[in-house]
Amino acid sequence: MTTSNLARASVAALIASTLATAARAEIKNYEFQLVQPTVKAGADRVVTVRLVDKTTGKAVPDAVIFASRLDMAPDGMQEMATKVTAMPGTEPGTYRFKATFGMAGRWQLSLGAKVQGETGTVDNKLVVTAEK
């Protein structure tokens, strides 16, 4: 290979590498959003969230949710926590959770997830309002 061909091949490889890195989103570009911000207080209520790529606005399917917690931290009662059970989503990019909202008020749903092909963790805290 001649020197000029080697130089062109090196430049092409560098450009391809840069584009591949730029094409991947950063973990900070993902967030969970509540589909419905309110639920009725009581047992076996379902909360649905959507994981969204903020740069495209598209839902992100197949994330692995490894942490979930529901408590009343927004109302100063973080010790009032309840069990959260993951359920299958109804459409790609949605994630559902069943829980008991023991009283009316603001509940904080804390989620931790891994997005396929990305390094890092999506961590969000969403406020769900339970109504009487």
Q: What token pair was written down for 48?
A: 């649905």
Amino acid 39: pLDDT: 98
Handedness of CA 98, 102, 107, 110 (dihedral sign): negative
Spell out the per-residue pLDDT of the chain, length 132, in tens: 555 555 555 544 445 444 343 445 699 999 999 999 999 999 999 999 999 999 999 999 999 999 999 999 999 999 999 999 999 999 999 999 999 999 999 999 999 999 999 999 999 999 999 999
- Listed in sequence order, the residues at least 6 apart from 104 whose beta carbon sits closer than 8 Å to its beta carbon are 41, 130, 131, 132
- State the pairing for strand pair 64-72/105-114: antiparallel
Amino acid 18: pLDDT: 41
pLDDT digits 0-9 by tens, 41-69: 999 999 999 999 999 999 999 999 999 99
Handedness of CA 127, 52, 60, 118 (dihedral sign): negative
Q: Is 14 left (phi over 0), alpha (psi -120 to 50) or beta?
A: alpha
Amino acid 3: pLDDT: 52
